[in-house]
Amino acid sequence: MLERFLVPERDRVYVTVDKMRHATIEIFEKCGQSPADAALSAEVLMTSDLRGCESHGVSNQLRVYVQMYGDREINPTPNVRVTRETDVTANLDGDEGLGLHVLPKAMELAIEKAEKHGMGAVTVHNSRHIGMLAYHSMLPLKHDMIGLTTSAGNPLSMAPTFAGEKMFATNPWAWAAPARNEAPFVFDIATTQVAGNKLRLAERIGAPMDPAWVADSQGTPIMEEGPLPADYMILPFGGTREQGSHKGYGFAATCEILSTILSGMGPGFLLPTKPRTIMGHYVQAIKIDGFTDPEQFKDDMDRFLSGLRNTRPAPGHDRVVYAGLPEAEEVEIRQRDGIPYHREVIEWFESIKAELGLEFELL
Amino acid sequence: MLERFLVPERDRVYVTVDKMRHATIEIFEKCGQSPADAALSAEVLMTSDLRGCESHGVSNQLRVYVQMYGDREINPTPNVRVTRETDVTANLDGDEGLGLHVLPKAMELAIEKAEKHGMGAVTVHNSRHIGMLAYHSMLPLKHDMIGLTTSAGNPLSMAPTFAGEKMFATNPWAWAAPARNEAPFVFDIATTQVAGNKLRLAERIGAPMDPAWVADSQGTPIMEEGPLPADYMILPFGGTREQGSHKGYGFAATCEILSTILSGMGPGFLLPTKPRTIMGHYVQAIKIDGFTDPEQFKDDMDRFLSGLRNTRPAPGHDRVVYAGLPEAEEVEIRQRDGIPYHREVIEWFESIKAELGLEFELL
């Protein structure tokens, strides 16, 4: 993550992962989730916070979920069911349940199919936010499988290349692949220049926007560094056409096709805007053994990832990293030291504790 | 394609697709390919030229292939065989054959598996260049399937984010999805800022480089517009870290994992550099019927693609397009008017005709 997205030192409050997990489970249970679903939902958020991906942890997301449960925009006890199925594919009706606990079940089904046949893919329609995609894509790793997750829907935030209207959500992708001794490859990105949650995080900590991160209300890319304007559209990654924004746009469109159209909902920009965040998802598990010897694959992944890690850096840089390495390092640090939250986040937990009559202790 | 990559009007020589196809088939047959493989190889190149993707058509590629056949770096009559197989997966030994005619067979196998089971994926190792990826990804379209192609290997051209060494080829991806009345979605991109073949094309026509397209020989991004330096590395798409080059790097790494590591060759940067262009590939076919009604899918794709086409443009732009639309329009124009080649390309055809004792007539 870029420096600017880190919580400033003076605003940090450290909380152990166990205490924050416990608090989060209490909150999800109070929202009506079953104990098992609450534990799973909390695990997705804690995995984000441990990996240093606080944009997708409890800081931003939990209050949104609580509000949506309050507004009855999420079903706390969804009846998730298969609407179509083959040997290696399935489509699930998410029954308006939170993707945090619905999508792991979809991925487990994909893994089960991949175990039998070599590959499995599952779409989910009529679902809600899934949190950090990497969580879901990492589930196949321990089965010696490669994982893929992508997700789309409302609300819209991204303008396509040359467009003056928002037509996509942040339409993220995450791929994960196992290694033997190296930290696994885990690549999780928005197809926007910057994740929507990171913009909200930056607003909280007062970080400036870079040129070509967002367009103004008409769609013209803002090419000066500065504060986030009141009315804006996020650009596809690349920013401008010259710098390849058509690539971000294309991956966003592909995500839309797999997540909302293949799952049978139709494109996100035609979905109703109430309830917020109607989402569709696509997950896939690829069994390495269907193509090559998994032991050789993991050795080759070690050679690949250590090769990248040991690449000579360009002048002014300490090292080259690969996707998943800094996150794995962060997990070790945060398990030891606790997770640094913005004090404003701790204040929210205290207020929601009082409001909902909960009992957790964070500090 | 950006304006700057078009052949300048004064240098254009128009050739009909039939005459150029015929010439190309003659050349491939002279290189030792069977008539069927030569016809298929020519079809891949002509599809590129018709779609306006001349970076991957006869202009750049054919002379490289001819030289490689001359140097015995490509096997003109490969014995392509399955080395591992499950219901929905397979790995093929490409036997050093040209990917142009080897990969369509891999994709046909993936389609056959998808027809039976809902999905199919095939890796190929020990292969050579596959031309324009879109050709292969479009093969599943007429079967009401989504297609995916990705390919990696030698030679290296891309430096990862913050790196001072080349560690990847251009590691491209192509996704294709069918529609009913709209031109299909066909998204085909390099994970570099600019395709290697486009840099060679730009050198030929004297077009300048944009800022952050390439890094100097140490890995520092060149942030001024200007001519291509003698010694350079291509940056991942995004260009700089601030503009998201870690996303280009991550998709390049994912491509490498699927193409070279999953196919059992190990990472491209550890492959021997002689013979040039040892490549691995990954193709996947996704049967829409495994997830949702294909008729509804195609109607939804029409609503999706026409929605994008009709998005209000940003100030200064005529229209919004989607991946595959300008290419489909170009096909109509070029089938009518012929394909505009640079006169230098025509000169090469005349010289190779004399050298190899061929009989084709281009004009």
**Per-residue pLDDT at A5:** 66
Name the closest residue on chain B to residue A323, using Cα atoms.
B250
The answer to the question of residue B363 being in a domain is no
Q: Answer whether B193 touches A (CB < 8 Å).
A: yes
- Report if residue A361 sits inside a domain: no
Closest CA to B89 of B61, B53, B116: B116
Domain that holds residue B346: 3-356
| Among candidate residues A206, A216, A154, A184, the one with its CA nearest the CA of residue B314 | A216
CA distance B232 to chain A (A): 13
CB atoms within 10 A of CB B116: 15
Using the Cβ of B217 and the Cβ atoms of chain A, whether some distance falls under 8 Å is answered with: no
What pLDDT band is residue A278 in, cutting at 50, 70 and 90?
very high
- pLDDT of A120-174, one tens digit each? 999 999 999 999 999 999 999 999 999 999 999 988 999 999 999 999 999 999 9
**ipTM score:** 0.96
Nearest residue on chain A to B194, alpha-carbon basis: A244
Closest C-alpha to B148, from B279, B284, B290? B284
- What does the pLDDT read at residue B3? 61
Q: Any residues with CB less than 8 A from the CB of A206 and at least 6 apart, and which? A: none
Which residue of chain A has the CA closest to B163?
Answer: A313
Task: Kindly list the distances between the CA atom of residue A154 and the CA atoms of A94, A198, B178, B312, in Å, as whole numbers in the listed order.
Answer: 15, 17, 23, 19
A232 touches chain B (CB under 8 A): no
Report chain B residues whose CB lies below 8 A from the CB of A288.
262
Neighbouring residues of A346: CB distance < 8 A, sequence distance ≥ 6: A13, A15, A362, A363
Number of domains in chain A: 1
A246, B117: Cβ pair inside 8 Å?
no
Say if residues B280 and A291 touch (Cβ distance below 8 Å): no
Q: Does residue B10 sit within a domain?
A: yes
pLDDT band at A295 (very low <50, low <70, confident <90, very high): very high
Looking up residue B134, the CATH number of its domain turns out to be 3.30.1370.60
Mean pLDDT for the stretch of residues A87-102: 98
Pair B284, B120: CB distance under 8 Å: yes
Token reading at B180: 């009913």
Examine residue A349 and state whether it is found in any structural domain, yes or no. Answer: yes
Task: Give the span between the Cα atoms of A256 and A267, in whole angstroms.
Answer: 7
Q: State whether B293 and A264 contact (CB < 8 Å).
A: yes
In this prediction, residue A3 has a pLDDT band, given cuts at 50, 70 and 90, of: low
Nearest to B267 among A119, A303, A321 (CB): A303
- CB contact burial A278-297 (16+ within 10 A = b; e otherwise): bbbbbbbbbbbbbbbebeeb
Output helix, strand, coil percentages for chain B, rounded to the nearest 5. 45, 20, 40
What pLDDT is recorded for position A4?
61
Neighbours of B16 (CB within 10 A): 16
- B362 occurs within a structural domain: no
Nearest by CB to residue A163, choosing from B89, B258, B314, is B314
* Banded model confidence at residue A211, pLDDT cuts 50, 70, 90: confident
> Cβ of A311 and B160 within 8 Å?
yes
pLDDT of amino acid B174: 98
User: Which pair of tokens denotes residue A167?
Assistant: 């037509």
CA angle A158/A159/A165 to nearest 5° reads: 120
Rg (CA), chain B: 20
Helix (H) or strand (E) holding A66: helix A58-70
Is residue A57 within 8 Å of residue A24, measured between CB atoms?
A: no
Q: Which residues of chain A neighbour B292 with C-beta distances below 8 Å?
A: 84, 91, 123, 262-264
Whether A254 maps to a domain, the answer reads: yes
**Which residues in chain A have Cβ-Cβ distances shorter than 8 Å to B212?**
243
Pick among B89, B168, B198, B309 to test the A interface (most A CBs inside 10 A): B89
Q: Is residue A363 part of a domain?
A: no
Chains A and B: how many Cβ contacts under 8 Å?
291
**Helices B343-356 and B17-30 meet at what angle, rounded to 10?**
40
C-alpha distances (whole Å) from B285 to each of A178, B146, B289 are 23, 6, 12
Q: Looking at A195-199, A348-352, B183-187, B301-305, which range is the least confident one? A: A195-199
**Residue B275 burial class via C-beta count within 10 angstroms: exposed 0-12, middle 13-18, buried 19 and up:** middle
- Dmax (CA) for chain B in angstroms is 55
Q: Is B322 left (phi over 0), alpha (psi -120 to 50) or beta?
A: beta
Contacts of B290 in chain A (CB under 8 A): 84, 86, 88-90, 121
User: How far is B233 from B158, CA to CA, in rounded Å?
Assistant: 6
- Closest Cα of chain A to B306: distance in Å? 11
Interface mutation vs chain B, best among A53, A149, A246, A247, most B CBs within 10 Å = A247
Q: Do B238 and A237 count as a contact with CB atoms less than 8 A apart?
A: yes
Asked if the model's pLDDT at residue A204 lies above 90, the reply is no
- Report the alpha-carbon distance of residue A335 to residue A17 in Å, rounded: 7
Question: What residues of chain B, 309 to 338, have a C-beta less than 8 Å from chain A?
Answer: 311-317, 319-323
Amino acid identity of residue B21, one-letter, is R
Cα-Cα end-to-end distance for chain A: 26
CB of A244 less than 8 A from some CB of B? yes
* CB-closest option in A187, A253, A270 to B323: A253
Which chain B residues in 12-41 lie under 8 Å from chain A, judged by CB atoms? none
Its pTM stands at: 0.97
B161 vs A contacts (CB less than 8 Å):
320
Q: In this complex, do B254 and A210 lie within 8 Å of one another by their Cβ atoms?
A: no
Q: Per-residue pLDDT tens for A250-260?
A: 999 999 999 99
List all residues of chain A from 107 to 136 with a beta carbon under 8 Å from chain B: 117-121, 123
- Residues 133-172 of chain B whose Cβ lies under 8 A from any Cβ of chain A: 146, 159-165, 167
Provide the shortest C-alpha distance from residue B1 to chain A (in Å): 10
Q: How would you write the pLDDT of chain B (363 residues) with one tens digit per residue?
A: 456 667 888 999 999 999 999 999 999 999 999 999 999 999 999 999 999 998 899 998 899 999 999 999 999 999 999 999 999 999 999 999 999 999 999 999 999 999 999 999 999 999 999 999 999 999 999 999 999 999 999 889 999 999 999 999 999 999 999 999 999 999 999 999 987 777 777 776 777 888 888 999 999 999 998 888 889 999 999 998 888 899 999 999 999 999 999 999 999 999 988 777 899 999 999 999 999 999 999 999 999 999 999 999 999 999 999 999 999 999 999 999 999 999 999 999 999 999 999 999 999
